[in-house]
């Protein structure tokens, strides 16, 4: 049995959705994580007006975090049901990083460093495949812009500058930071991804260690 003290402590802990999306939108995400709901359902649960809920839903839709997932019959007309997208589910999951780290540890136990790096590079190739045709139709500067946007969808943030005939892509943090500190071969994943998408040689110059930062030099 849970004591009153334990219940109070658990209730006081912020839900991950609130930390990620803000208080009201976080509560909407928390409710939608349990099951699809209508505007009326959400308004009643959060004691807000329908218009206030619609405004928050519009922002969440624009961010690709929720989508309409069907309808529920109503007295005069059907009511749209809203549900979380896979993107939102991934953002809320704390399991991806530890699973990646554990998989890499298991690979290191049965493979040489060179073999692990080859496997990691193959992941980079696979991640690039769905985007390769779209990138190939554009000049290099546009491919650079698209690559920065793609890194953003992966949870990274980066800028690019041209310097003496080459581009330097500099990250403000690393989307694979929790894995890179113990497994520096992981940087080869993004290096391979970028080389495939940009169609140019890419040299990895990342800062590794406790606070890794991405850096890649791209030959023009």
CA–CA dist 190, 166 (Å, integer): 18
Report the candidate in 147, 149, 157, 159 with the shortest Cα–Cα distance to residue 198: 147
SS3 83: strand
Both tokens assigned to 164: 């003496």
Report the candidate in 76, 97, 122, 90 with the shortest Cα–Cα distance to residue 16: 90
Report the candidate in 196, 194, 189 with the shortest Cα–Cα distance to residue 212: 189
Q: Between β-strands 79-84 and 202-204, what pairing exists: parallel, antiparallel or unpaired?
A: unpaired
User: What is the b/e burial string over 52-83, where b = at least 16 CB atoms within 10 angstroms of the residue's CB?
Assistant: ebeebbeebeeeebbbeeeeeeeeeeebbbbb
| Domains of the chain with CATH codes | 4-92 (1.10.10.10), 96-219 (3.30.1380.20)
Please, what are the averages of pLDDT over each run of 10 residues along the chain (220 residues)? Answer: 36 49 82 92 95 94 90 90 86 76 88 90 95 92 93 83 88 76 85 96 86 85
Q: Sort 120 into a burial class: Cβ within 10 Å, 0-12 / 13-18 / 19+.
A: buried
pTM of the entire structure? 0.65
């Amino acid at each position: 049995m849970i004591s009153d003290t334990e219940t109070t402590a658990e209730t006081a802990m912020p839900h991950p959705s609130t930390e990620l999306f803000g208080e009201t939108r976080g509560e909407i995400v928390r409710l939608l994580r349990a099951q699809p709901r209508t505007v009326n359902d959400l308004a009643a649960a959060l004691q807000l007006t329908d218009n206030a809920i619609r405004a928050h839903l519009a922002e969440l839709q624009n961010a690709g975090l929720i989508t309409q997932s069907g309808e529920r019959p109503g007295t005069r007309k059907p009511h749209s049901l809203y549900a979380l997208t896979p993107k939102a589910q991934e953002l809320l999951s704390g399991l991806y990083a530890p699973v990646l780290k554990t998989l890499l540890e298991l690979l290191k136990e049965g493979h040489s460093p060179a073999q692990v790096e080859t496997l990691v590079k193959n992941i980079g190739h696979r991640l690039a495949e769905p985007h390769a045709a779209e990138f190939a139709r554009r000049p290099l500067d546009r491919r650079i812009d698209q690559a920065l946007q793609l890194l953003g969808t992966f949870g990274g943030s980066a800028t690019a500058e041209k310097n003496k005939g080459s581009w330097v892509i500099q990250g403000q943090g690393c989307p694979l930071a929790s894995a890179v500190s113990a497994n520096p071969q992981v940087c080869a994943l993004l290096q391979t991804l970028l080389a495939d998408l940009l169609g140019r040689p890419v040299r990895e110059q990342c800062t590794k260690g406790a606070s890794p930062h991405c850096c890649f030099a791209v030959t023009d």
